[in-house]
Amino acid sequence: MKQILVSGVLGLFLSLIGTPLLIRLLASRGYGQMIRDDGPKAHHSKRGTPTMGGIAFILATIVAYAATKLITGDKPSISGVLVLFLTAGLGLVGFLDDYIKIVKQRSLGLRAKAKMAGQLIVGIAFAVLALNFHDSRNQTPASTKLSFTTDFGWSIGPVIFVVWALFMILAMSNGVNLTDGLDGLATGACVMAFAAYTVIGVWQYGQWCGAPVSANGACYEVRDPLDLAVVAAALMGACFGFLWWNTSPAKIFMGDTGSLALGGALAGLAILSRTELLLAVLGGLFVLITMSVIIQVGSFRLTGKRVFRMAPLQHHFELKGWSEVLVVVRFWIIQGMCMALGLGVFYAAWVAAS
C-alpha cells in the first residue's frame, strides 16, 4: 500500500508546483483559449486564459508513477504502463488539436477525421497490446469477456473486443471532453472517478486470484490490480493538484490535451480492472452530459426543436441563471453520488459472490 500513498502524494505535489510553471510558459507564448461566439456570453471573459493544461497532470502522473517504482523498488507492470500509454497517447492527440486552435486561430482545432484517426490509432494499439503479455498464470492485461464487476459470459473474441475497447475509449474520452466546459468541473469529477478506481484496485488486490484466497474460492481474476491502483492514485493526485489552479476563476484550462487523456485513462482502468460496464455508473456524470448532447442533436434533427436551452447540459443550467460555481458544485455532488453508487454495487456483487 506504500506505493499507492507515494504515487498519490507525488502526483499531487508535482502537479501543484508544475501547473503554475506551465501557466507562465503558456502565457509568455500567448497560448490562450479560443472562446466560441455561440457559447454562453459569460464565457467571453475567459478568452486568452492559458490552455493545454493537461500537459501538467499528464507529466505529473507519469513522473509520479516512475518515481514510485524507483522509491519502492517495485517493477512496473504491463497493465500500469498500458494505462499510461493510453493516457499520454490520447493526450498527444488532444495537444495537436489545442495547438492548431491556438496557432491557426481556428476554434475547432483538428479536422474531425484527423482527430478520430489519432484516437483510433492509439485505441487500437492499446486494445491489441492488452491482449498480449501473458504472465505466469497465463493472464493478459485485458480479457475478451465483457465485464461488470468481474468478467461474465462467453468470450467475444479478439476482433470484437478491439471494437468494444475502441467504443469505450472514444465514448469516455469524448464524454470528459464534453464535461470540460466550466472551471474545475471535469477535473473535480475525474478526481472522484480515479479515487473509486484506487479503492477498487486495492480491494481486488486483497482478494486477488494470484494470492491465497478464502475458503469459498471467490477472487478477482485481474492481472495487476495493485499497479492499477498505483496509476489511479497518481492520476487522482495529479488532478487534485491541477484543480487548485483550474477551479473558478480558472488560471488555466486542461484543453483537449487533458480531457482526452483523462477519458482514456478511465476507459483503460475499467478495461484492465474488468469493470467495463461499471464505468457507466462510476463515471455517471460524463454519461449524463454525453446523453444530453445526443438528445439535443437527435431532437433537433427529428423535430427541429431543442430539448435544452444549450448542450452540453451544464450550459443549459447556466442559461437558466445558475452561476458557474453553483453548476459545478451541484454536478460534483451528482458525480459523488454516482461514485458512491458504483462502489456500493461493486462491493455488493462481491458479497453476493462470496
199-216 core/surface letters (b: 16 or more CB in 10 A; e: else): bbbbbbbebbbbeeeeee
How many other C-beta atoms are found inside a 10 Å radius of the C-beta of residue 303? 9
The answer on whether 256 is annotated among ligand-binding residues is yes
pLDDT (0 to 100) of residue 44: 46
The DSSP annotation for 116-137 comes to HHHHHHHHHHHHHHHT----TT
Listed range (105-114, 132-141, 227-236) with the worst mean pLDDT? 105-114
- Please compute the mean of the pLDDT values over residues 134-163 and round it to a whole number: 93
pLDDT (0 to 100) of residue 181: 85
Separation in Å, CA 303 to CA 188, 297, 300, 307, 311: 35, 10, 5, 10, 16
pTM over 0.75: yes
The answer on whether 132 is annotated among ligand-binding residues is no
pLDDT (0 to 100) of residue 28: 86
Distance separating alpha carbons of residues 281 and 277, to the nearest angstrom: 8
Cβ-contact 240, 14 below 8 angstroms: no
Distance separating alpha carbons of residues 113 and 318, to the nearest angstrom: 31
Give per-residue pLDDT as tens, 291-317.
999 999 999 999 989 999 998 999 999
Cβ-contact 4, 233 below 8 angstroms: yes
Domain ranges in the chain are 1-279
pLDDT (0 to 100) of residue 215: 45
What are the DSSP E strand ranges found in the chain?
A: 145-147, 151-155
Length of the chain counted residue by residue = 354
- Please compute the mean of the pLDDT values over residues 248-260 and round it to a whole number: 94
Share of the chain above pLDDT 90, in %: 78
Checking if the pLDDT of 105 tops 80, the result is no
